[in-house]
Amino acid sequence: MRNDHTHFPAQVYKESVLTPLFNDFKQHFYEELMDINYAHCVMLAEQKIISLEEAKRILAGLREIEATIDLASLEYTGEYEDIFFFIESELINKIGLDVAGKLHTGRSRNDIDITLYKMKIKGYLHGLIGNLADLVGSLLEVAQKHKATLVVAYTHGQPAQPTTFGHYLGSIIEILERDLERLFQAYRMCDKSSMGAAAITTTGFSIDRHRVADLLGFREPQENSYGCIAAVDYLTQVYSALKILFISLGRVTQDLGYWTGFEVAHLYVPNEFVQISSIMPQKRNPVPIEHLRIMASIVNGHCDTVINAMHNTPFTDMNDAEDPIQVVGFAAFSTAERMLRLFTELVKGLSVNEEKVQEHLAASFASVTELADSLVRAEGISFRQAHEIASAVTKELLEEGKILTDLEYERFRRIYATVMQREPQISMDQLSEYVKPDYFVAVRECFGGPGVNHLTRSLLRYEEQLDYYREELKGLLAQTALAEARLKEAVDSCLQYLA
Amino acid sequence: MRNDHTHFPAQVYKESVLTPLFNDFKQHFYEELMDINYAHCVMLAEQKIISLEEAKRILAGLREIEATIDLASLEYTGEYEDIFFFIESELINKIGLDVAGKLHTGRSRNDIDITLYKMKIKGYLHGLIGNLADLVGSLLEVAQKHKATLVVAYTHGQPAQPTTFGHYLGSIIEILERDLERLFQAYRMCDKSSMGAAAITTTGFSIDRHRVADLLGFREPQENSYGCIAAVDYLTQVYSALKILFISLGRVTQDLGYWTGFEVAHLYVPNEFVQISSIMPQKRNPVPIEHLRIMASIVNGHCDTVINAMHNTPFTDMNDAEDPIQVVGFAAFSTAERMLRLFTELVKGLSVNEEKVQEHLAASFASVTELADSLVRAEGISFRQAHEIASAVTKELLEEGKILTDLEYERFRRIYATVMQREPQISMDQLSEYVKPDYFVAVRECFGGPGVNHLTRSLLRYEEQLDYYREELKGLLAQTALAEARLKEAVDSCLQYLA
Amino acid sequence: MRNDHTHFPAQVYKESVLTPLFNDFKQHFYEELMDINYAHCVMLAEQKIISLEEAKRILAGLREIEATIDLASLEYTGEYEDIFFFIESELINKIGLDVAGKLHTGRSRNDIDITLYKMKIKGYLHGLIGNLADLVGSLLEVAQKHKATLVVAYTHGQPAQPTTFGHYLGSIIEILERDLERLFQAYRMCDKSSMGAAAITTTGFSIDRHRVADLLGFREPQENSYGCIAAVDYLTQVYSALKILFISLGRVTQDLGYWTGFEVAHLYVPNEFVQISSIMPQKRNPVPIEHLRIMASIVNGHCDTVINAMHNTPFTDMNDAEDPIQVVGFAAFSTAERMLRLFTELVKGLSVNEEKVQEHLAASFASVTELADSLVRAEGISFRQAHEIASAVTKELLEEGKILTDLEYERFRRIYATVMQREPQISMDQLSEYVKPDYFVAVRECFGGPGVNHLTRSLLRYEEQLDYYREELKGLLAQTALAEARLKEAVDSCLQYLA
Amino acid sequence: MRNDHTHFPAQVYKESVLTPLFNDFKQHFYEELMDINYAHCVMLAEQKIISLEEAKRILAGLREIEATIDLASLEYTGEYEDIFFFIESELINKIGLDVAGKLHTGRSRNDIDITLYKMKIKGYLHGLIGNLADLVGSLLEVAQKHKATLVVAYTHGQPAQPTTFGHYLGSIIEILERDLERLFQAYRMCDKSSMGAAAITTTGFSIDRHRVADLLGFREPQENSYGCIAAVDYLTQVYSALKILFISLGRVTQDLGYWTGFEVAHLYVPNEFVQISSIMPQKRNPVPIEHLRIMASIVNGHCDTVINAMHNTPFTDMNDAEDPIQVVGFAAFSTAERMLRLFTELVKGLSVNEEKVQEHLAASFASVTELADSLVRAEGISFRQAHEIASAVTKELLEEGKILTDLEYERFRRIYATVMQREPQISMDQLSEYVKPDYFVAVRECFGGPGVNHLTRSLLRYEEQLDYYREELKGLLAQTALAEARLKEAVDSCLQYLA
């Protein structure tokens, strides 16, 4: 220690850490850093912590840097620890140390870093929310078109009941609208500026944290200054919300996989999404569905990486929540965006193979529960008796290799009479109605059910909800755009001072 | 297949799956199942799907079962697939199949299962939110007491600046109040009844899903019936919210670990939380802190287990989201509860070793930044010059093995004069003030900072916020209690029919 | 601190931590602790660190404790910190402090704890390896029976080629034999005794660490004493090996799920594994397959919990790797065991629905690649031409709604002649051979392929490999049994001293 | 479906999937693909499946492509699905379809893909094993230098006993050598060629799978062909081994963090690894240690992403285990490599602050256990009495604010006499020896302990073990180099045929 003649940075540290950090910063954070510089400077002048003249020189210097900087060719030399110091040194070169040095009054790299992370993530959330709203929009369109198109609903992986494609999609839409809600909730946690926390404890200068928040498009400053630089729940919440979404989307993807399986074939994938084998002309591989699944898994993985990196770290300013992990998070967002866009278009291209659906509904006796239910209502008999009749009918038909719609009135009459010791009152037409899949669906006019009236009302509610979220997104985008305009105007007005 | 003479259940299936399921159900779900039975029956009668007389017999039968059942000694025999069927068979024994069989009209085990999972989780959330509110209450108490007690704030794991224990705790309180918000958000996702979805698609009977939701204490029925039994985002959101909380608590725990380290010793842990070695009488092991960390890790692990079990499952009724995984989730809640209770009491017992804090603040020159800042304001000199002076002062003192409060006026004067080419104007008293840690804190009167006025206001806001959440919890508990009363009354009133 | 009048343990600590720890210890670690006591005492006497007379009294005391202890009714009172201290105090009661106190010479709770964790895990690995070997045995039996039974092999979730069930199972067997290898590797990491590391740094007494290892059934002592109590890679390796296994088994489970899907139906699940619906007599739910999946997910989740709890802990003796997390690991093992047993029996019950397989092989033209390949060999034409012919054939048949085995010689001849400008030389018999699925399989006599000769050889190798692993397991069990005998004998012989 | 006029690829699929895939392939897999092309072609000729003349034309074509291809400027147009087809089309352009088409005989993209993944991972493992061996080498060097340098060993985060830095590092070395073992085990799982599995079931052509394995540097072909393309345990094992390593390294990093904390200061980090603050000249932030931790967390995260992406996928050829996830794995390796290199250099730069260590050992009475142990041996008294004396001594000294080495003979004598009712026999010199930290270490001459003789022997064993692993790595590198030479020679010799 006494004889420490080494100098920072060690070659290995430069190569393994500082250079990658520098390149990441260039690519991801430069613009946000400049906005923070402008906003902080404007506030310092407004609070009279620096003079208007000083502010004017700083702002002009920053504008000049922006106009002339060549980021692409900038390479890490070790002369400046990072882009932050590089910009500061450029500013010093242009306007002198005495004034340039005042820009850093009442702030630190700590509050700057967390603030720009939040700005980036807010931007990514704008995109993601927009993409998700588009997906919901697509699903709604398809659901509207398929309000009455039958599909097979499963329990335990086996055909269970008929429903409609519109009803199935409705269930997905509902979840995704809850995801929109979760993403807005996560957004609000990021919408709190850390500027003014300085290193940890704010500053003795009379800065205005609300004004800086305002100029940077934040709804408000985050209060406790220690939390401003050390809390990571904005990160964990955002990436949890993302993971919740992609766990759900992955499950829908599994359905698509099964339904497009050769033997199942309930859904038809158009050629534009089908990879073909050169030798097997009949082979249609809906590979995009596999890619949806792996993309969802990768998003989930990156989200976990971000969240778990926080595990067992101390609560303090630490690199664990900084650039390297933020960049992993951005990769989650960019994979997420590709996945959502592909999903949105694929969904629009899908069509239901109604013949196959009918074939499997029939072969699986999927509508037999309704025969019993209908007998209860039409014959006034008890549930238990109705079930006995339906079971006997099914058993006989299965043994003869027949399907439910093959049910002959005579067979029904005989079984009914045996069980009930009297003749049935329903007509042959009624009987053949009771076993049809579309009748099964039609009678399910219940809140949240597939009956067309209720489904129509549900879809309407989803539309309204989607409109609501789209408005909310517009509001956030407007807040950001307004802040940008406000910042530009404040800078311009300062630059015109005494001019 | 033709020659399949086997009978359900295979011995291995009974042992490896059905028996454990049965025992779990007995322990966790029996009461909720009975409530669902009562509520569904009441609704069926109200909707005239069954007669009042039938309802009366069913309800009386259920009451009798409750009065006489001996759950503890009930063992899985394979005669009934599960507790659901056992209760049904008991009911049949008591009131006959014809009436007993009507209870299951317009519902299925699918909607029952998801509904009772949500009831359980809502109950666990009541407890967890209460425990978390207690922890925040404890933290607020301690923070109030320590608004002015100095502690060391760190960056990069090194002492950086003085702040107060109250300010540090304020940052934790703010995060935990956001966690309360997240838990309420998650609660709302569980507060939607699935009853009436039946197997998947609702039913053709004119059930009233809102009424059942009401009788079971839910805010509303969940709409789409497919989603009612297949969506799992209620689960993923709840366990994500739990994990977000315990990631944050684990970080605070790491601070406690460092601050109670022998060499650091900023916090004193009272004897009641200290394990002692029989041979090393000086050794004080604050083992509860380690247990906080491992409990947080275990909660996180169980949350991940629940969430990740949903990965790549199909979107359909599947055991992946059912009993076995629910029970893992309950283990997360019960570990969480133990952790929160221990944390709450431990926090109340901690005291700050003010001597050690002062020693380390001094030795680490943690307040030197304020000397420079103060010179800027008092001498009207530029930042750059002030920093040069502060640096020179620090360097000299360090070389002589002195600390900042050792700074002699003459030394300061000499350095100031060298840098500024003039004498300083501040007095000796001012100078000695500028280097004191409590002065450092006192001038930080900024929104969210440690200055006592602002901190006092922050703590007040946190109190109000906590009160608000406590009211919200009370509201949820009242909603549950009211529903219980409503259900009891509806059952009683039906039982008195014609009586 | 000066005024700390509290006494250990705080009520909350007792309830939230100490009592659960005590109960876990009773349930899981008592027997291993006693073995360690015996073995350590024997070694102390052999090394003359204590006298034979002292050893005799200690061992007799321990035997008496074992004979009289009533673990079940033992409740945590706080009088003894844990079971370790309880046993020590019992011993003191029986033989007096002076001699009883010598048992703890040259050891500490640290080395005892890690040693007994390893003993437990070795026991669990014995069971798991045995269960896995049984599963492989079952798979081999079924594979032998189905060396020639056709099934559909998939790529991208679509039927691609015919193969045999034996060949498919061979692929699983190969993986599981690699898992056996991984489990033995993990076992070897646990097979190193930590005894003698004492608290961290061994001891100044001339203990014999190899002898204690020997008496406890370990292959050897772990060397570095700090690592003995702080390294956790024995844990992370064991639970990684477990997770690798269950990730693979989960994938096979997904295949079973698809193949038993109603529309696919390539595998028939016998009644004993099928849950039936009361109303839908045709519905056959192979629910055990779902349970296999969720059990695999839960094992994976518990493994992750154990491994991730180690993340960002310090390298030192810490509770993070101790009782609470060990117990989570044991839950992984016990779920794993149930899963393996169910899988083993289910596999034996499965049968192939050969008709369905043939139907789907035909409808999917799965064997068409071999037509082209065979033409290359039989007609001496180029690959490219052969493919052109096969493609044209396929296209025509598909358009006419025919399948590959419908291919008429005349159609083939016409297409062949058009492409090749000459007549084909192959006979009609040859042609109809080339398009058959079993011909497809039969010609694949290649190392690792489904051709019956090569498959037979593969299965033989797997048998041999399984025998080898079974011998290895026997060796480990023998090592344990021998050590038990050795320990008992040493204790007995010491007890007979001077008797 | 009848009216499907769309054409592959959809624009969105091209943008969201195909283009990124194309670019990844260019960057990561081109060279391995070409090697596979050469090796497969050589084998086809040797097996007389194609003629030597044909092989010669193919190989010449491939060589020409290699000589002229401009990968950097290659952009995805959609004309070729991927690089594989692009190369094939280039080959066709150069040598005509008839011959070019024969290259793909007896193989498929499935076996090619998995084979090239294994080739890549083997290459990454070569690098990683080399880096890890270098780290172990560094640790050994430092451990040799510090065989006798005292450090503080901790339990429960509190100073517990003295040991040496060499002994501490020995524990890490032992773990890392086990990691080397695990990495070699994982390597062996990747060292099995999948070539010849073709799509799934091998081929009817008489290919030689062993020969191709040989030419590509694999130890052997993987046997079962279905497993060759569908098993993923090579992936899960490699990334588990990586995670096990980085969990351990992360724990050592936590120790470095604590030991370089300002208040602890047992380790000194040289300037070249210390980031300094412009205003706080005394502040020394060993930021590289934080980066080690976050890099370890990121490696762990990427490993989990790869492993968990396999969860609940079917066992079949699927994109889940292909390019996109492989690339995430490569990111784990490249972060791992940077982390290991930084760790290796940092370790070499660390020095022990012996003064601080002595101060904290003394203040924490860390060596007091040895006083009692020594009295047992020197005075022939019982353990219990010795401990009573040591405790009384400690209590008195602590009350007077003294440390253990302050112990006066008279005080000892008095306490001894009170407890034992006789005078002690040991001399004053003996007494002062018994309480010294280096005596504590010196007497711990036990297998695996810090006593210098045993530690020296341990380090020697570690050296030998490291040499062994270095030889093993050399062997693997030689195997690869030899195969490259063999392949080149085989190609050259074929190209010279008839020339």
Per-residue pLDDT at A98: 85
Residue A341 in contact with partner chain D when CB distance is under 8 A:
yes
Least confident residue range of D95-109, D189-203, D416-430? D95-109
The interface predicted TM-score of the complex, written ipTM, equals 0.96
- CB spacing of D374 vs C174 below 8 angstroms: no
Per-residue pLDDT at D281: 61
In chain B, which segments carry CATH 1.10.275.10?
Answer: 4-105
Class of domain C368-435: mainly alpha
Is pLDDT at C261 greater than 90 in this prediction? yes
- CB spacing of D391 vs B279 below 8 angstroms: yes
- CB spacing of B290 vs C13 below 8 angstroms: no
Query: Of B368-377, C382-391, D237-246, which has the strongest mean pLDDT?
Result: D237-246
Per-residue pLDDT at C2: 58
* Per-residue pLDDT tens over the stretch A25-77: 999 999 999 999 999 999 999 999 999 999 999 999 999 999 999 988 899 98
Residue D92 in contact with partner chain A when CB distance is under 8 A:
no
Place of tokens 């890549």: D120
Residue A150's pLDDT band (boundaries 50, 70, 90)?
very high
Residues 6+ apart with CB under 8 A from B432: B405, B407
Per-residue pLDDT at A384: 77
Is pLDDT at A215 greater than 60 in this prediction? yes
> End-to-end CA distance of chain B, in Å?
55
- CB spacing of A156 vs C285 below 8 angstroms: yes
Over range C98-124, report the average pLDDT. 94
Is pLDDT at C1 greater than 80 in this prediction? no
Place of tokens 């999948």: D194
Residue D247 in contact with partner chain C when CB distance is under 8 A:
yes
CATH annotation of A4-105: 1.10.275.10
Residue B319 in contact with partner chain D when CB distance is under 8 A:
no
Over range A86-103, report the average pLDDT. 92
Residue C254's pLDDT band (boundaries 50, 70, 90)?
very high
Give the torsion sign (CA, C372, C374, C379, C381): positive
- Is C471 buried (19+), middle (13-18) or exposed (0-12) by CB count in 10 A? exposed
Of B270, B298, B339, the CB nearest to C309: B298
Over range C468-484, report the average pLDDT. 97
Is pLDDT at D277 greater than 80 in this prediction? no
**Mean pLDDT score of chain D, rounded to an integer?**
94
Residue C93's pLDDT band (boundaries 50, 70, 90)?
very high
Q: Give how far B181 is from chain A: nearest CA, Å.
A: 10
Residue C262 in contact with partner chain B when CB distance is under 8 A:
no
Residue A75 in contact with partner chain C when CB distance is under 8 A:
no
- CB spacing of C158 vs A364 below 8 angstroms: no
Per-residue pLDDT at A383: 77
Under CATH, what is the fold of the domain B109-354+456-487?
Answer: Fumarase C; Chain A, domain 2 (1.20.200)
What is the rounded distance in angstroms from the CA atom of residue A60 to the CA atom of residue A45? 14
DSSP structural state of residue A317: B
The low-confidence residues of chain B, meaning pLDDT below 50, are none
Residue A431's pLDDT band (boundaries 50, 70, 90)?
very high
Residue C272 in contact with partner chain B when CB distance is under 8 A:
yes
* Per-residue pLDDT tens over the stretch D385-412: 888 899 899 989 988 989 988 999 999 9
Residue D404 in contact with partner chain B when CB distance is under 8 A:
no
Q: Give how far B126 is from chain D: nearest CA, Å.
A: 33
* Per-residue pLDDT tens over the stretch B306-334: 999 999 999 987 899 999 999 999 999 99
Q: What is the pTM of this model?
A: 0.97
- CB spacing of A390 vs C286 below 8 angstroms: no
In chain B, which segments carry CATH 1.10.40.30?
Answer: 368-435
Least confident residue range of B278-292, C84-98, D451-465? B278-292
Is pLDDT at C365 greater than 80 in this prediction? yes
Question: What are residue B162's DSSP bridge partners?
Answer: B152
Residues in chain C closer than 8 A to B345 (CB atoms): 10, 12-13
Residue D78 Ramachandran class (φ > 0 left, ψ -120 to 50 alpha, else beta): left
Is pLDDT at A1 greater than 60 in this prediction? no
* Per-residue pLDDT tens over the stretch C321-332: 999 999 999 999
Residue D278's pLDDT band (boundaries 50, 70, 90)?
low
Residue A7's pLDDT band (boundaries 50, 70, 90)?
very high
Is pLDDT at D499 greater than 60 in this prediction? no
Residues 3-22 of D with CB under 8 A from A: 4, 6-10, 12-13, 15-17, 20
Contact B283, B277 (CB under 8 A): yes
Per-residue pLDDT at B79: 82
B107, B285, B287, B352: which to substitute to probe chain C, counting the most C Cβ within 10 Å? B287
Residue C368 in contact with partner chain A when CB distance is under 8 A:
yes
Residues in chain C closer than 8 A to B7 (CB atoms): 271-272
* Per-residue pLDDT tens over the stretch A280-332: 666 789 999 999 999 999 999 999 999 999 999 999 878 999 999 999 999 99
Is pLDDT at D484 greater than 70 in this prediction? yes
Chain C neighbors (3+ CB pairs < 8 Å): A, B, D
What is the rounded distance in angstroms from the CA atom of residue A213 to the CA atom of residue B360? 35
Per-residue pLDDT at D3: 78
Q: Nearest-CA residue of chain A relative to B439?
A: A204
**Mean pLDDT score of chain A, rounded to an integer?**
94
Chain B neighbors (3+ CB pairs < 8 Å): A, C, D
Residue D20's pLDDT band (boundaries 50, 70, 90)?
very high
What is the rounded distance in angstroms from the CA atom of residue D36 to the CA atom of residue D41? 8
For chain D, the farthest-separated pair of C-alpha atoms sits apart, in whole angstroms, at: 108
Residues in chain C closer than 8 A to D225 (CB atoms): 167, 171, 446, 448-450
Residue B268 in contact with partner chain D when CB distance is under 8 A:
no
Of C272, C290, C302, the CB nearest to B320: C290
- Three-class secondary structure of residue B499 per DSSP: coil
Residue D369 in contact with partner chain B when CB distance is under 8 A:
yes
Per-residue pLDDT at A62: 97
- CB spacing of B394 vs D369 below 8 angstroms: no
Least confident residue range of C452-456, D69-73, D222-226? D69-73
Q: Give how far A374 is from chain B: nearest CA, Å.
A: 8
Q: Give how far B195 is from chain A: nearest CA, Å.
A: 11
In chain C, which segments carry CATH 1.20.200.10?
Answer: 109-354+456-487
Is pLDDT at C498 greater than 80 in this prediction? no
Is pLDDT at A499 greater than 60 in this prediction? no
What is the rounded distance in angstroms from the CA atom of residue A190 to the CA atom of residue B178? 12
Residue C318 in contact with partner chain D when CB distance is under 8 A:
yes
What is the rounded distance in angstroms from the CA atom of residue A238 to the CA atom of residue A117? 12
Residue A258 in contact with partner chain C when CB distance is under 8 A:
yes
- CB spacing of A283 vs C364 below 8 angstroms: yes
Where is pLDDT greater, at A91 or D280? A91
Q: Give how far D421 is from chain B: nearest CA, Å.
A: 21
Give the torsion sign (CA, D6, D12, D17, D22): positive
Per-residue pLDDT at C499: 56
Per-residue pLDDT at D292: 98
Is pLDDT at A394 greater than 70 in this prediction? yes
**Mean pLDDT score of chain B, rounded to an integer?**
94
Residues in chain C closer than 8 A to A398 (CB atoms): 281-282
Place of tokens 């006693």: C34
* Per-residue pLDDT tens over the stretch C70-80: 988 899 988 88
Per-residue pLDDT at B78: 81
- CB spacing of A313 vs B237 below 8 angstroms: no
Over range C128-138, report the average pLDDT. 98
Residue C290 in contact with partner chain A when CB distance is under 8 A:
yes
* Per-residue pLDDT tens over the stretch C182-232: 999 999 999 999 999 999 999 999 999 999 999 999 999 999 999 999 999
Of B159, B279, B365, the CB nearest to D369: B279
